[in-house]
Amino acid sequence: MNRCFALSGEELRVKKIKNGTVIDHIPAGHALTVLKILGITGEEGLIIAVLMNVPSKKIGKKDIVKIENM
């Protein structure tokens, strides 16, 4: 399994990143728009984790983008 992910029982969890950027509290369904605005296409060779519709106590659902070594 990829070093960014870990299985926890029945769940797939994204591990913390040691060096990089985390963009949190993105309105649900907008993570891909954030990547587009940043000009990230996936061809850069970066390890990118996109989490969409993550439960949030404050806003109901949110998206998160994690980019290693950026």
Three-class SS of residue 13?
strand
pLDDT at 48: 93
pLDDT over 90 at 3, yes or no: no
pLDDT in tens, 26-43: 999 999 999 999 999 989
The rounded distance, in Å, linking the Cα atoms of 22 and 33 is 15
Output the pTM of the full model: 0.80
pLDDT over 90 at 66, yes or no: yes
Which residue has tokens 């605005």? 37
Beta strands in 9-47 (DSSP E): 11-14, 20-27
Q: What residues form DSSP beta bridges with 13? A: 6
Domains in the chain, start-ordered, CATH in brackets?
20-68 (3.30.70.140)
pLDDT over 70 for what percent of the chain?
A: 84
pLDDT over 80 at 1, yes or no: no
